[in-house]
Structure formats: structure tokens, C-alpha cells
Amino acid sequence: MKIILAGGSGFIGRFLEKRFNQDGHQVKVLTRNPKKDNDIYWDGETKGEWMKSLKEADVLINMAGKSVDCRYTNRNKQLIYDSRLKSTAILDKVISEIDEPPKLWMNSSTATIYRHAEDRPMDEAKGEIGTGFSVDVATKWERTFFRQELPYTRRVALRTAIVLGKEGGALAPLKRLVQFGLGGKQGSGNQMFSWIHEEDMYRAVCHIIAHTEIEGPINLSSPNPLPNAEMMRSLRRNMNMPMGLPSPKWLLTVGAIFIRTETELVLKSRWVIPPKLQKSGFTFQYQHLDTALRDLIS
């Protein structure tokens, strides 16, 4: 297949590019900083030569967006909005105008679109949309993605949970906490941790490509999320660390200031399950966190 990765220079984009190449597909990456032969310059906002790459593409996956691992200053908030909404809007405009547009457009979204949930899991049908900055970003992002009819392009919004991988993402800082003896629960430890192994994320993307009946928002998350305290216990066990000091909320608040991030990233309860994906026939290779961590940490 001809696959276009927009904003594909981050952790997830690099992994998808590697796996698609391994499976023999032709991959082009739209990026602000082209370095490789298959990189194409785009600024995520305006039309340009990159538009030619979309013609006759089988799949477009847009992952453009400033990292949310930062302090939510007014400037950073605006950059988070702009990087997501402007890139999605320009892709939408170009796809509506060109002949032979991509057959499938998958756009990043986030499992953070759902409310803080410690009472029940959230799915695509009955999940409750939350409130606050992160949710507002996610809802506007999806609204921009689905804002007009694109009769020749199937669209899927990937409401992705925390992706665990060997070469980036959330696992690296969590491992460092355990190594420094701070691998206990964070906050109350009751907040749910929804996650997906990088390989299952890739397999889910391939499944969506193959199953043309899948449209609209879809949760990419393991069917077995678990509380933060259990998640940290599993991580300690797989790293052979018998003990770990807990991090109360006040300490996380102070620490977040020093490392320039937000406590929401660890304290929000993301309880997300993937019935839409499973009902379409997808089976997870890594259903349980222990199995995933054994593979990723080995």
C-alpha cells in the first residue's frame, strides 16, 4: 500500500513507519524537518508540494500535534490547539479538493476525551465526554476532522490510550521512577490506567485498514485497564524492584512544576475499553499489562 504519515516523526510515527516498511508498504512522512529520502516537507498549516503525495494514497494517518507533556501555559495551550486543529483542517481541505484522494484517513484523537472515571469504563457508545482543557482540545479536534462530507474517503478517529513501547512514550519515565525507588502508587492509586502495547496499536491500525466497515471514533486501548497502584506494582515486579515509595498528590503537584509538566497526565482516571474494535474481530496479542511489560522490558 501507499501510506502517508502526517506528523510522523514522533515516537508513534517512527514505530508505525518501521512496521509498515517491514511489511513491505511504501511509506511517505510529512514533516517540518525532512531528513530521510521518504520525508516530505509540510508546515501543517498551508498547501504545498506535499499535496501531491495524497493522490492515490491508500491510507493517510495524521499524528501531528504538540506534545501535551508540558506546562499548560497560555502559549503552550494555544500551540496544542493550533498544531492539532490547523493540521487536520488543511488535510480536510486538500482531501475535499483533489482527485483520487486517500481511501482511508485515520486521524489521531485521544482517550482523554472521556471524563475522569473511577465508577465504570468508557466505550464509544456510552462513554461520557468530560470537561476541561484536554477534553476541549479533543472534542474540537474530532469536530474539525468530521466537519464535512468526504464521499471518497473513509474516516476513523483513533481515541488512543497511553502507548507503551520500547523506544519512547510513557514507559521510559515510569521506569525511571521505579529505578530511583519512587515506583509506588501515584496520588490515591485508584485512578485507572488505560494502555496499549505498541505492537497491538500497529495491528489495530492494520485491522482498521482491512475492515472497511469501521468508521467514526474508535478506542485503541487494551481491554484490561487497571488501577494506577496495580500498574506500578506490575512495573516493579517486571523490573525486579520489591519496593517503591508512593507519590502523594501534593508531591506530584510540586514535582510537575520542576519537570515542567502537568499532574493530569498521571492523576486523571482513564478507564477506556475497546468493544468496537473487538466486535469487529480484532484480538489483542497483549491483553494484560504483565505480558506487555515482560515483552517491553526484556
Q: Specify the CATH number for the domain of residue 102.
A: 3.40.50.720
Task: Give the whole-angstrom CA distance, residue 173 versus residue 156.
Answer: 30
User: For the chain, how many structural domains are there in total?
Assistant: 1
- Place 218 in a pLDDT band, splitting at 50, 70 and 90: very high
pLDDT tens digits along 30-54:
999 999 999 999 999 999 999 999 9
CB count within 10 Å of CB 19 equals 18
Determine which of 162-166, 221-225, 257-261 has the lowest per-residue pLDDT on average. 257-261
Domain containing 36 equals 2-297
Closest CA to 194 of 128, 269, 282: 269
| CB-based contacts of 251, cutoff 8 Å, min separation 6 | none
Closest CA to 50 of 31, 35, 66, 36: 31
Sign of CA dihedral 207, 211, 217, 219: negative
CB count within 10 Å of CB 225 equals 25
pTM (2 d.p.): 0.95
pLDDT tens digits along 86-98:
999 999 999 999 9
Task: Give the whole-angstrom CA distance, residue 19 versus residue 253.
Answer: 38
